[in-house]
Every structure is written in C-alpha cells, then in structure tokens.
Structure 1
Amino acid sequence: MAITSPCGPCRLPKTAGGLLSLAFPVTASAHVVPGLDGHTLWNAWSTQPWLWLLWGLPGLLVLAGIARLWLQARAGAGVSGVQAGCFLAGWLALGLSILSPLDALGEELFWVHMVQHEVVMLVAAPLLVISRPLGALVWGLPAAWRPGSAQLARVLGLSWSMRVLTRPMAAWWVHAVVLWVWHAPPLFQAAVRHPWVHDLQHSSFFIGALVFWWALLQGHGGRVRQGMAVLYLFTTVLHTSALGALLTFSSRVWYPVYDATAPRWGFTALEDQQLGGLIMWVPGGMVFMVAALVLFAAWLQGPARPGPALR
C-alpha cells in the first residue's frame, strides 16, 4: 500500500505492479531503466577493485585467524562457533550490500537504497560486533607482523579513537548525527549523483553503526552502563522512527533525483520515498526494539559478565 499523505488515498495496484517488476524483472522490462534492465541487473556488481580489497582482505584475514586458532588448539578455542558464524554472516551481508547489484539498483530506487543502509547498519554491523573479530584478525596476520600491529594502531590513533567513540553517549550521538545529516536532501542527492560521496556516505553509516553497536554490546561497565545501553536503544527507536515517519507521510518528494528513475520501475518518486520511509520506520525500528528488550532482560537477570579475553 502506498501512502500519499496521512489521509490520502492508497494506490495499491501501481505500487504492487512496481514490486512485481522487481520480482520478475525479465517480464517487466517495460519499466526498467535504460542501461540497467532485468538482464543486466544481475551483472551490475561493483567494478571498483579497492572496494573489493577493503571488504575482502580483512575478512579473509579474520577467517584465516579463526582457522589457525582452531587448528593449533581445538574448534571453538578463542572464537566460538557462534562468533565465527556471526562474523561470516555479517561479512557476507556487508559485501552483498555494497558490492552486489543491490548497490546499483539503490541508485534507481530510494527504497532499495534504504534497504541497503538497513542491511549495513542493522544486520552487518551488529553481527560483526558480536563476533569480536579483532583478536582473530591479529592471528590472521603473518607471525612477524603481529607484534607491530598494536604499535601501528597506537601510532595511527586507532586505540584512542576506539576508546572515545565507543563511549555510549558518544556512540549514540555519532550514530544519530550520521543518520540525520546524510538524509538531508542535498547530501543524499549528492551521494546518488557522485560515486565518491556515495562511498563516503556508506562508510559513515558503517563506521557509525559499528561504534554504536560496539558501545552497547561490548562495553564493560556493570549494571549502570548496561541499563544506559537499554535507554540509548529506546531513544534510537524514537528518533529513527521519527525520520521514517517523516519520509512516509510527507506529501512532497524529498529527493527529486529519483523523479527520472523510480517511474520506470513502476513507482512514482513519492511512492518510492514512502516505501523507503516505511522500511526505516517499521523493520528498522523493530530491530532496535528487540535489541533493547534483550538487553533489558539481561539487565534484570544480574550484572553483565564479560566474555573471556582472546589472548
């Protein structure tokens, strides 16, 4: 159902037709964008080698580190099977969101762009944080490089930045500011038009989500900090839902850059925007709410118990 205004009529057939054109792109070729149709969409993987390298190299090092740990000790040593599964799922989700045809289609449809952001921030980032991959990453390096890795992190200021940004209040503000600033129409449209702004936008979303989830899920500060994490999640539900509702119920198009592309996939630009707002509002809000309830239940049960350190 497409919402044209808070009390406006619903235009189900047109929106449903747009969804069908995505589900069956070959038969709905009359609605596709020239140069990106149902036949070429599945071949529209990223052609930027540096982006593949930034995604692939750290992931392969982590997987190599897990394998090395398990071969030298036993399966589950240092990194549990659950953590390894979370890392693999988060790493693949991140790759699919930024390297697959989903990225190309996000330049044609706002709601697909929104799905891409939600996968990065609400699927990939928390799964990677839960997996605690830093120790395995060090083990994946050649033995001669490991002693210098910590020194390099200090020289580059990574350790200091991590301590500052992963404080819960700082992480909350980083996440909120990144989300709202990048959805300002001038910046969002610049990200669609210019590849380097597009890459900066996705990097900001990913880093902001990493520090947010790290501060909430991996911080060790006893029951007070654990309780504050619940509060931060509930307030995040409020402000992200507010942004999603504004996009959903707006009677004007925020991002005219989609005026030329959304209709060719069966949507008006306004319907496209409203569907994207619903995706942020409902599924996105539910992820934060479930995380808040899980942490609240843990807070009720007793003090937080940090997991064993990976030596």
Structure 2
Amino acid sequence: MLGWWSLDPLALAPVAAAGVGYAVRARRLRRRGRPVERRRVAWFALGLGLVVVALVSPLDRLGEERVFYLHMGQHLLLGDLAPLAVVMGLDGRLLRPLLALAPVRRLRWTGHPLVALPLWAMTLWGWHLPPLYQAALAHSGVHALEHMMFFATGALAWAAVVEPLPGPRWMGTAQKAVYVLVMRIIGGTLALTLIWSGHVFYPNYGPGEQRWGIAPLTDQAIGGGLMFVEGGTITVVAFSLLFLRWVREAEVRQALLDGGASAEAAARAARYGPAAGARGGSPPSS
C-alpha cells in the first residue's frame, strides 16, 4: 500500500512553505498579544492536509491510472474543499505580510466577487474542455498548472464568501447566499453534463478503465455524480451557516439600533464585530 504514496518534493514544497509561513506569523501575533483563534489554525491545517492528500496519497496515483472518477475526486479536493478550508483559516492579520508584497497588491482586484466568480467559472469549465483536459493528462507541467489554477481560483471564489479581508459593502449575507447558489449552478451544470451527455469526452482514460473493468461512460458519470453530490453538500452547509449568520446579524443590528447606534455603525458591527462599529470602519487588516 505504501507504494501508492508518491512523496514528490516539488509538489509538497509550496504546502510546506505555506505551513511554515503561517506558523511564523501566528507565533509573532501571539507574542504581540493578538493570538490567532484555534479554529482558524485548525481550518488552515485541514486545508493543507487536504492538499497533501490530493497530491501524494493513493488518490493521485490511481488517478494517473486513467480512472476519471478518482481524478475528479482529486480535483474536488484541490479546487473546492482545500481552498475553502484554507480561506477559513485566514484573516487580515495573518495576510498582512503577504499583502505588503507588490505583486500581491497588484492582484488584489482578482478577489472582488464580480471578478473572482467569473475567474473560477472559466477555470472550472475551461480545464474540463477536452483539449485542455487531455493536455493535462499528457503533460505533467500542464497538469501542475491545472491544479494550481483550480486551487487559486477556488480560494478567490470562497474568499468572497468567507471574507478574510473586508469585501464590498453591498456583499452582505443575502448576497453571499446568492453567490454560493450561482457557484453551484455553474458547477452542477458541468456535473450534469458529465452524467447525462452520453458521449465520452476524455478518451485518454480508456486504458485505465479497461484495467479496472469500468465502462468509459460509467466512469464519466460517476465522476460527474461525485461533483454533483459534493457541490450539493457544500451548498446545504453554506446556506445553513449563512442563514444562522443572517439571523445573528439581524439581532445584533437591532440591539444596537435600540441602544442608539447609527444605522451605518450598527450594520458594520453586525457584519464585522463590535470593534468595527466602534471604529467607524471595517475591521483592521493588521
């Protein structure tokens, strides 16, 4: 079984660098009396763990055996679950050193919801077009680029919902629910296309499917089914959490209004916490 694990240093180096950078920054913040919440640390660790599982576990090797649904499982980890967990582990304090870098500052516009969502959608659909997907199967460099783009655009898309940094004022909880719904419609449409197309899009999987005794259309349909179920599960969980947040924000906002706070200050405090309302602005990013 250990032979199925492939410890590729080049694949693990960015994960290790991210983990070390996070630990160093969290330690500095703790020394300054501003410790990072344990839940954030746990989320970030989970996200990195999911990346490691996707890249070096038997899932990666079995996907290389040309079985589509296993490869789809890897992509769901890299493009959806791991980015969500990583983003849940971040906030402005942790990101400040990264945001100080000029290249990162120039790219901050990609985190705007109206930019991040189209980037995510184009990446998801673009890489599942047969020519690009087949190229990723045939060339390791293209495959690595595919994985990086899945993770990067997934993180940008989820950041618009989680808000490790303050987002546009209009992007409230209700708008975030609509945003998640649009994400899942886009992903669900691709999943249903894979399930019901009746056409094999990726013939390069043929040899592996024959070895595993899986019909190509069945393999493709199972992969689409995994995508559909994962997306539906995430949507239900996200909607539930957003609803609870909407209720809490409404209660906090009303209590502040009853206490004499201005409508703007009450809205800020309900969204970002009491400190933001007291400061008259969004939460500090440092």
| Residues in 2 aligned to 1:310 and 1:234: alpha-carbon distance in whole angstroms | 28
Instruction: Kindly indicate whether the alpha-carbon contact (under 8 Å) linking 2:48 and 2:82 is maintained by their aligned counterparts in 1.
Output: yes
Instruction: Kindly indicate whether the alpha-carbon contact (under 8 Å) linking 1:223 and 1:299 is maintained by their aligned counterparts in 2.
Output: no
Q: 1:94 aligns with which of 42, 48, 51?
A: 51
Question: Are positions 1:187 and 2:132 aligned together?
Answer: yes
Counterpart in the other structure of 1:283: 230
Question: Are positions 1:83 and 2:40 aligned together?
Answer: yes
More relative contact order, 1 or 2 (CA 8 Å, 6+ apart): 1
Question: Are positions 1:58 and 2:18 aligned together?
Answer: yes
Instruction: Please show how residues 61-72 of structure 1 align to structure 2 within 5 Å.
Output: 61-70=21-30, 72=31
Which moves more between the two structures, 60-69 or 257-266? 60-69
* Alignment RMSD (CA, Å): 2.3
Q: Give the letter for the 2:179 counterpart.
A: Y
| Residues in 2 aligned to 1:160 and 1:298: alpha-carbon distance in whole angstroms | 32
Please state how far the C-alpha of 1:98 moved relative to its aligned partner. 1.9
| Residues in 1 aligned to 2:99 and 2:47: alpha-carbon distance in whole angstroms | 24
Runs (5+) with no aligned partner, structure 2: 251-266, 274-282
Distance 1:137 1:236, change over 3 A: closer
Residue deviations 1:21-44 (CA, integer Å, cap 9, x gap) = xxxxxxxxxxxxxxxxx6732x3x
Q: 2:182 aligns with which of 224, 235, 244?
A: 235
Instruction: Please show how residues 104-183 of structure 1 align to structure 2 within 5 Å.
Output: 104-108=61-65, 109-132=67-90, 135-136=93-94, 151=100, 153-154=101-102, 156=103, 158-162=104-108, 164-183=109-128
Instruction: Kindly indicate whether the alpha-carbon contact (under 8 Å) linking 2:87 and 2:155 is maintained by their aligned counterparts in 1.
Output: yes
TM-score relative to the length of structure 1: 0.74
Instruction: Kindly indicate whether the alpha-carbon contact (under 8 Å) linking 2:79 and 2:147 is maintained by their aligned counterparts in 1.
Output: no
Higher helix share: 2
| Residues in 2 aligned to 1:95 and 1:133: alpha-carbon distance in whole angstroms | 22
How much identity, in percent, do the aligned residues show? 29
Q: Say which SS state the counterpart of residue 40 (structure 1) adopts.
A: helix
Which moves more between the two structures, 172-181 or 56-65? 56-65
Consecutive aligned runs of 4 or more in structure 1 exceeding 6 Å deviation: none
Q: Give the letter for the 1:40 counterpart.
A: G
Instruction: Kindly indicate whether the alpha-carbon contact (under 8 Å) linking 2:29 and 2:35 is maintained by their aligned counterparts in 1.
Output: yes
Instruction: Kindly indicate whether the alpha-carbon contact (under 8 Å) linking 1:182 and 1:188 is maintained by their aligned counterparts in 2.
Output: yes
Instruction: Kindly indicate whether the alpha-carbon contact (under 8 Å) linking 1:114 and 1:279 is maintained by their aligned counterparts in 2.
Output: yes
Counterpart in the other structure of 1:306: 272
Runs (5+) with no aligned partner, structure 1: 1-37, 139-145
Q: Say which SS state the counterpart of residue 251 (structure 1) adopts.
A: coil
TM-score relative to the length of structure 2: 0.81
